[in-house]
Structure 1
Amino acid sequence: MPSKNDENSKKRYNFKDQTVKELRDFAAINDITIPAGSRKSDIVEILHNAVSESDFIDRTLEENRKEELIVGDDEEDFETPSDKELKFWQKPPYSTLLDLELAKDSDVAFYDLSTLVHKFFENMLSEDFINYKVSGIALKTSASLHRHKIRDVIKQEEKIQKQEKIEKMRKRTQRDIPETLSQPIKPKMKTSSQDELFDAMRDAIIETMQKREKLKRRRIKREEKLKKKKEKRSEAKLPKELLKHISGREQSVEELHESWYNRIKTKISLEEKNNTSLYELVKLINNEEISVLGRKYELIRMFLALMFLSTNNKINLEQNKEFKDIHIFLD
């Protein structure tokens, strides 16, 4: 047998006349679970069972009375402002914190938000009973306003920066047209006679010839200097004192070359031949020098002298094969 609560709920909620969408919306608002794919009859039965419970609270009725709960206390929902004195949050400027759209249009809430919120909560704390619902709405509205304010400030700053950037680009690309400079007045051309023209041409020709002559003399002097330098380099002569210092003996390098040249010439004339050889000169060194170290030293000096004499075209050196005897001819 159905109970009286079931009968009252059926009379109060006429679910059969509603659509499936309306039934599902009612279930969603009241946190009633409807299985997926349920038919209308099944949904109606589930809703009747839910509303028939003793602890069921219809939240759709609370939403219809939401505006009255925001403006007044929960215990005095049906009292009009004329029946009781208005609370401080129902009066401006604090009433702006309970309506976001109204607060956005209010200069006080937008530009002095921190002071308004601070005074709001000071007044709320001074009340006999703290209305947490109104306080929460005011806090949420102030947070939204603060976010809205920051967003507007950022947009304005970006707009200003963009405008400044455009102005800089314009100044950079803009070209300044310089002022026109006053041109000097050209003197009038003077007419000259035929004789003056010929004299000027003759002077120009003479001046050109003189310049060419000077350049020619400079070139000749420069060539002579270069020639002298080349001759000095080909002679490769150093001061005797310096040559003696380099060789380490009283005999200079030039004197050493000359002595070996004379010895080669004498040896060729004594032997009545047209040449001599390196081995013959080595025999002379071995006969003159006693120590092995002295022989090696004199051999090196003799070989260097032969190289210099050959370079200066005083003697000719010939060698048929490598590591064989070197034949020496007078030039």
Structure 2
Amino acid sequence: MSEEDKEIEYEFREWTVNELRDFASANNISIPSGSKKNDIIEILEGVVSHPEFVDRTKENDLDEELKSGEKDEDEGEKGPLFRKDKTKKFWHQPPYSTLLNIDLAKDSDVAFYDLSQLVDKFFDKMLREDFIDYKISGIALKTSASLHHHKITSVIKQEEEIQKQEKIEEMRQRTRRKIPKTLSQPVKSKMKMTSKDELYDAMRAAIIETMQKKEKLKRRRLKRNKEKEQRKEEKSNASLPKELLKHISGREQSVEELHDSWFNKIKTKIKLENKDKTSFYNLIGIINEDEESVLGRKYEFIRMFLALMFLSTNNRIKLNQDDEFKDIEIFIE
């Protein structure tokens, strides 16, 4: 055991049980299981008091110091490009560190800040560095794009949720039952006592009103009957249009024109003979003079006979026959 180790005094009483066991394990000192703190301290004090005891924990500290010294010497020999800078870069510090870890950025509120300004500052600082780290720059750029997409999708989801809630609320308002308001009841007027004269006046007014209504109904009924009679009379006096009558007769002359023509012939015949009448046979003579064919004479004979019937019905001429198959006398009314 060296003189420096002898000078070291171990204050085991101030150590915890775990520290005591770690010390024993580092120095290959076996401690029985279930030993109490006082028992462990007695064992360690007995081992440490031995003149050949070497504290292994001190040797580990020396080895680390030597290794760190060697590393410093090696780094001093290396060039500035390969020399490791112990100071933290700006991208290891917030808020720029969030651009290198997308999960950390999503959990934080950086996604809802101005990402463009943060990215601009990041690359401004990167350009000011002695050596540009393209890998870190690419990671930051990709993370910012992912954060922007996450921000947009989050906003869209929030808007959809808001619209959904608005629709639900609108549906609730529309389907909600409304309690109807109470209807105001009209105030009944107080009943007044009427006198005998007022009662008679009311009865007289009611009787007069009833009679006036009956009179109006009677006038309407008479007017309606009169209009009906006029329509009947107009229908009885109505005649078909000339064009339609011509179409029915099959000739250029209508039925009415045919009647007028035979009436004029009868009238002319009477004037020429200076008599007050003519006969059916005389009219047949006119037909025989006008028509050459037998068929035409028969056709005109039928038309003349029908015309005489219509003229007699309309009281334009008067027909007289003494006996069957005798000549028919024709008078003008």
* TM bracket (short chain): 0.3 to 0.5
Task: Answer with 1 or 2: which has the greater Rg.
Answer: 2
TM-score, with length taken from structure 1: 0.48
